[in-house]
């Protein structure tokens, strides 16, 4: 595996994690609606946008932290986005 696809995947994954954190923060501040409050296509878009947040909260729960701070969730979100981006870059062609 070459390093360039991994680096590109990691960079896009970090961007996805940052975007997911922004979407989650906007939903938490009631600036964006929850997925259950909108039509199905928009709900699917919202869920796919903040998927790294959901995975980060799952990881925090598996680690035994039942109520992590917002900063911890955002940090884990960026890390999960980066990991998912790298995993997407590693698929065989």
Q: How far apart are CA 85 and CA 68, in angstroms?
A: 24
Query: What pLDDT tens digit does each residue of the chain (93 aa) get?
Result: 677 888 888 899 999 999 999 998 999 899 999 999 999 999 999 999 889 998 988 888 888 877 778 888 888 899 999 988 888 888 755
Query: With the C-alpha atoms ordered 3, 5, 9, 15, is the resulting torsion angle positive or negative?
Result: positive
Kindly report the pTM of this predicted structure: 0.82
- The closest of 83, 27, 29, 79 to 50, measured between CA atoms, is 27
Check residue 1 and give its pLDDT. 61
Check residue 92 and give its pLDDT. 59
CB atoms within 10 A of CB 81: 26
Token pair 């884990």: residue: 76
């Amino acid at each position: 595996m070459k390093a360039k696809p991994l680096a590109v995947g990691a960079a896009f994954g970090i961007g996805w994690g940052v975007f997911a954190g922004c979407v989650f923060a906007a939903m938490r501040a009631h600036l964006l609606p929850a997925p259950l409050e909108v039509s199905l296509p928009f709900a699917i878009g919202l869920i796919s946008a903040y998927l790294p947040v959901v995975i980060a909260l799952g990881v925090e729960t598996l680690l035994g932290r039942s109520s992590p701070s917002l900063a911890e969730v955002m940090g884990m979100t960026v890390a999960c986005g980066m990991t998912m981006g790298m995993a997407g870059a590693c698929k065989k062609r």
